[in-house]
């Protein structure tokens, strides 16, 4: 059964019957297919895949890059230390040959980012020194750290033949 109205907007949406407006017939059912839906359903799935926008992917890649650039320097510094002034290395170094121990003024030891005691550090270093003869222990200590805390680690390295490097901040050049 059809009824005539002036335009389809005046029809109640819950009524699924078709409406005639002038010489044109309108089907107001929300489930009726439209030309737009037919066109979309006729597209090949290969065409859809070739139209993927990579802009969000690039945005994500740049955000991750920025996060890594910011957090990488923070990974080495587990303790807030004020390093003494010192020199620069003579030659380039391989980072795989290095372990780092940080010593706070209160005698806390952090070995490669984990809080440890001197015997625990010794056990880990001796195991690694067997596998890597070029192993070097970087000692980062606050400039107000008592020598006793640094000497405990230094003596332990000397007893096992492990090379050490005392970390410091580079001196400003006087030009």
**99-137 per-residue burial string, b: 16 or more CB within 10 A, e: under 16:** bbbbbbeeeebbbbeeebebeebbebbeeebeeeeebbb
3-state helix, strand, coil in the chain (%, to 5): 40, 20, 40
Instruction: Indicate yes or no: pTM above 0.95.
Output: no
pLDDT digits (tens, 9 = 90+) for 34-72: 555 555 555 555 555 566 788 999 999 999 999 988 887
Domains defined for the chain, CATH in brackets: 8-49 (no CATH), 85-170 (3.30.420.270)
pLDDT digits (tens, 9 = 90+) for 139-157: 988 888 888 888 999 999 8
Q: How many CA atoms lie within 13 A of 105 on its CB side?
A: 7
């Amino acid at each position: 059964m059809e009824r005539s109205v002036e335009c389809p907007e005046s029809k109640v949406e819950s009524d699924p019957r078709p409406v005639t407006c002038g010489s044109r017939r309108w089907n107001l059912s929300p489930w009726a297919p439209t030309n737009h839906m037919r066109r979309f359903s006729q597209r090949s799935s290969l065409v859809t895949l070739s139209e993927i926008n990579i802009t969000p992917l690039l945005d994500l890649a740049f955000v991750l890059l920025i996060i890594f650039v910011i957090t990488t320097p923070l990974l080495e510094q587990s303790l807030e230390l004020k390093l003494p002034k010192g020199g620069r290395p003579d030659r380039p170094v391989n980072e795989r040959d290095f372990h780092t121990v940080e010593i706070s003024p209160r005698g806390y030891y952090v070995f490669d980012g984990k809080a440890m005691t001197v015997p625990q550090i010794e056990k880990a270093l001796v195991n690694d020194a067997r596998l890597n003869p070029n192993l070097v222990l970087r000692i980062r200590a606050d400039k107000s750290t008592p020598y006793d805390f640094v000497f405990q680690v230094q003596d332990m390295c000397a007893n096992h033949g492990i090379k050490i490097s005392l970390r410091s901040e580079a001196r400003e050049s006087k030009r």
